[in-house]
Chains A and B, each alone.
Chain A
Amino acid sequence: NAGVTQTPKFRVLKTGQSMTLLCAQDMNHEYMYWYRQDPGMGLRLIHYSVGEGTTAKGEVPDGYNVSRLKKQNFLLGLESAAPSQTSVYFCASSYRFGPSYEQYFGPGTRLTVT
Chain B
Amino acid sequence: AQSVTQLGSHVSVSEGALVLLRCNYSSSVPPYLFWYVQYPNQGLQLLLKYTTGATLVKGINGFEAEFKKSETSFHLTKPSAHMSDAAEYFCAVSEFGGTASKLTFGTGTRLQVTL
**Real binding pair:** yes
| Residues of chain A at the chain B interface (Cβ within 8 Å) | 4, 31, 33, 40-45, 48, 50, 56, 58, 90, 92, 94, 97-103, 105-108
Q: Which 4 A-B pairs have the closest CB atoms?
A: A99-B94, A105-B43, A42-B105, A100-B51
| A102 partner, pick from B4, B42, B49, beta carbons under 8 A | B49
- How far in angstroms is the closest Cβ of chain B from A47? 11
Is A97 touching B99 in the complex (CB atoms < 8 A)? yes
Main secondary structure of the interface of B (DSSP, over half): loop
Apart from A33-B100, A50-B100, A100-B94, list 20 A-B contacts with CB within 8 A: A4-B43, A40-B9, A41-B107, A42-B4, A42-B106, A42-B108, A43-B44, A44-B105, A90-B43, A90-B44, A97-B99, A97-B100, A98-B101, A99-B96, A99-B97, A99-B101, A100-B32, A100-B51, A103-B101, A107-B42
In the complex, chain B residues whose CB is within 8 Å of the CB of A56: 99-100
| Residues of chain B at the chain A interface (Cβ within 8 Å) | 4, 9, 32, 36, 41-46, 49, 51, 90, 94-97, 99-103, 105-108
**Number of residue pairs spanning A and B whose beta carbons lie under 8 angstroms apart:** 66
- How far in angstroms is the closest Cβ of chain B from A66? 13
In the complex, chain A residues whose CB is within 8 Å of the CB of B99: 50, 56, 97
In the complex, chain A residues whose CB is within 8 Å of the CB of B103: 43, 45, 103
